[in-house]
Amino acid sequence: MERDVIFNSDLHFEHKQWRRELLFWEDELKSLNRRLSELVLRWTNKEMLAQLERFQNQFVIQENVINELQELINLHETNIAEHTKKGEDVLTQQLVKKHIEFRNQMDTQRILYSELKRNFFRFLSKYM
């Protein structure tokens, strides 16, 4: 039975991709929040303002998730660096398992974030 070998550089490459994606989401949330602020100034209807507040809360949650994911990447990168300093280029099964779990988290977050944006854009098209 042949086993795949996973090197530090493989995981580092994926981390770099995730960081760029998270930075993009972070920047995009700033734009979405600006759009939200514009709507707050235009509307006085309490129901409309309640919907805006729900989106605002969801944006804050997304910002927190992004920060949390960035921190997890940093921790994993630190761990990889420690292995590299020891001359260990191949990671243990436990570390790879953590990486795969994190990959699944990113996949789930992509879906959730995409759904939030889709709902917000539908909302915008209805009220802009």
Q: Give mean pLDDT, residues 21-30.
A: 97
pTM: 0.84
H or E element in which residue 61 lies: helix 46-85
- Tens of pLDDT along 91-105? 677 777 888 899 999
pLDDT attached to residue 1:
41
Is the distance from CB of 51 to CB of 119 less than 8 angstroms?
A: no
Domain ranges of the chain: 8-127
Tokens found for residue 85:
């300093």
Helix (H, G, I), strand (E, B) or coil at 90: strand
H or E element in which residue 115 lies: helix 93-127
pLDDT attached to residue 16:
94
How high does pLDDT run on average in the chain?
Answer: 88
pLDDT attached to residue 2:
45
